[in-house]
Each structure stands twice: as structure tokens, then as C-alpha cells.
Amino acid sequence: MNWKLTLLLLSIMLFSGCTPGEGANLSEAVFFHNDEAIEKVISNREKNDIINIIKTSSFSQLQAETIFPYNGESFDLFFKLKLNEIERAYYLAIDDGHLLRRNPMLSSTISDEVATLSAIQIEIFTKAFDIVSKDEDEGINQEIMMVMYDYGFHIPDKATALLDGSRFFFDLKDYGINTEVIAGDIFKIYYKGEMITQMTYPSRVDTSRMTILDVRRTRAIVVRGSLLGVPGSDTYNFVAVDYSASVFPEYVVNDDCTYNTVNTYYDDIVYASFRADDETGNPSIQAIYSYIPNRAL
């Protein structure tokens, strides 16, 4: 066989798998990195891998009580895929492995479907979107920390946001975090080396032996409600649509980081924050605010 023809046939065999399948088109790939939306360029080979995952995954109708709260903050990446002349929008939560499929032409979520991906499938996405993730083989560790408040012990008369009792040990803006940090926010810190916590108050993380590769935040859910008296009792509940709680923090945080005792706001409109990953059906209130907490830094 002519050597030129042989080379041509080998080239076709090697690269035919690098072109997305006929009738399939993956577009608008976006990585949601904290408060930023970063557009990604996906190679044809990676597109093919993702298309194969979609084709072979088993999607079922989304059940709100079994999956994370659908608030748009739980997803790490987004893309659109046109397959068999039908275009769908896809959202992936990396840590949970939940891949949500939506019809972008419908405002209702009734048609939403979800599939649970394997660790190998998740790795395909993280590599395609160039996302740092926990990898023991590569020595990449993950630390998960939640924001909570110190009420007046660290700074008198101020509500101070801490990470699991520690002062923040990184600059928020270095990782695209441009909005206010509130109680119930979850931070996932990806790093190499050793993370050492000095047991002071507040505690302090010594970063001299660690290299932080990335920090990702999952925002707390904020719910509008009121502190209303319980009929026939001298107690109060936090009451919102489809939610009521008799246990809540004893202070209300103001927009200048001061705080007041909760009884100051009885019968008033307030805002409560919850962990976005709380799937208990009756999530705990992490903090109460006298304002809508979502300010730019």
C-alpha cells in the first residue's frame, strides 16, 4: 500500500474519535467559580467524552426532597447540548455527582431530570473544565469549613464571621468572591501540603506548610420570614413560607456588623440563613439578619 495512503488512513483512525458525533453540539460551557462565570473552551475529544456520558446516563425526574435545594448556588458548571435535534441545558454539582438536565425553553422545573455520575465520569468533567478537585494520588487535599459568627467575644459589640471558629486565612477576592460572607456559607479549600490550626481564639490557620490551589464557596440560602408569637404562649417562632422553627440564634445581625438581641425584632420582618447542603427537611437556622445579606465587598 502506498505510504501516503497508509498515513492518511491512520490519521482518519486516530482523529475520527475527536469530532463530536453527528447531530450533537456542546456549547456555552461555563465554570461557576464563586461570584464569577468563567467560559471554558472544551476540546473535541473532551466533548465526545461528555456526550457519551449524557447518552449512557440514566436520567429520572427530579424529586426536590431527595436532591440539593434548587437555588442555583449548588452547581459548579453549566453547558448546553443539542442531541438528536433537541437542545438541553445541563448543570453539574461536582461533589454530589448530580447532573441536572433542563429544557431551556420551559420556565417550569416540572420537566427537570437528574442523573448521578460516577467518580470516573466526574473526573472527565473536572479535567475538561480545568477544575481543581480532591485527588489523593496528586496530593490535593480538601478541607470543608462553614461560616459562623462570633458575637462580641473577638471584637466587642461586633458580629465577626469566622470559618469553623478560625479567622479567614486567604483573601476572598483572590478567588473571585466579591459578595458578603454570611453564616451557613460553605467553603471548600483545595490545597497541597499540611494545614495546621493553632488553637487560640479565634483559632488561626498556619499556611506556611500548605499551598492553596483553589477556594470554592457554596452560598447559604437566605429566607425571608418573621419572628411571630406562638398563640397561648410567651415564646416566638421564626415563620416563613413552608417553614417554621422554634430554635434560632439569640442575636440578629445588622448591616453594619453590630447585633441586637432577638427580642428586639419580635413581630418584624427578618432574614434567616441556612446551609445549602442541608437535606434534613428541617434545616437549622445559622443566623438571622435585619437586612437582606448579599452585599458587594
**Mean predicted confidence (pLDDT) in 51-60:** 94
Site of grid cell 430554635: 247
Number of other residues whose CB lies within 10 A of the CB of residue 206: 12
Contact (CB, 8 A) for 192 and 139: yes
**Mean predicted confidence (pLDDT) in 239-266:** 94
Are 28 and 89 members of one domain?
yes
170-229 per-position pLDDT tens digit: 999 999 999 999 999 999 999 999 999 999 999 999 999 999 999 999 999 999 999 999
Are 214 and 226 members of one domain?
no
Identify whether 198 is part of a domain.
yes
Site of grid cell 476572598: 172
Contact (CB, 8 A) for 236 and 254: no
Domain's final residue, options 93, 128, 163? 128
Are 123 and 7 members of one domain?
yes
Identify whether 133 is part of a domain.
no
Number of other residues whose CB lies within 10 A of the CB of residue 117: 19
Number of other residues whose CB lies within 10 A of the CB of residue 177: 22
Are 59 and 155 members of one domain?
no
Domain's final residue, options 218, 249, 264? 218
Residue 256 belongs to a domain with what CATH number? 2.40.50
Identify whether 136 is part of a domain.
no
Confidence of residue 63 (pLDDT cuts 50, 70, 90): low
**Identity of the residue numbered 123:** E
Are 210 and 176 members of one domain?
yes
Are 44 and 147 members of one domain?
no
Number of other residues whose CB lies within 10 A of the CB of residue 207: 15
Does residue 98 have a pLDDT over 50? yes
Are 9 and 122 members of one domain?
yes
**Mean predicted confidence (pLDDT) in 233-239:** 90
* Pairwise CA distance, residues 297 & 286, whole Å: 21
DSSP 86-143: EEEEEEEETTTTEEEEE-TT-S-STT-EEEE--HHHHHHHHHHTT----BTTTTBEEE
**Identity of the residue numbered 175:** Y
Domain's final residue, options 128, 157, 189? 128
Are 48 and 119 members of one domain?
yes
Would you call the peptide bond into 249 cis, given omega within 30 degrees of 0 as the criterion? no
Are 244 and 211 members of one domain?
no
Identify whether 134 is part of a domain.
no
Q: What is the number of alpha carbons within 13 Å of residue 66 lying toward its C-beta?
A: 10
Are 105 and 11 members of one domain?
yes
Q: What is the pLDDT of residue 16?
A: 37
* Pairwise CA distance, residues 93 & 178, whole Å: 21
pTM of the model: 0.83
* Pairwise CA distance, residues 97 & 101, whole Å: 13
- Range(s) of the domain holding residue 279: 221-289
Q: What is the pLDDT of residue 71?
A: 47
1-12 per-position pLDDT tens digit: 444 333 333 333
The average confidence (pLDDT) of the chain is: 86
Are 17 and 121 members of one domain?
yes
Does residue 287 have a pLDDT over 80? yes
Total domains, the chain: 3
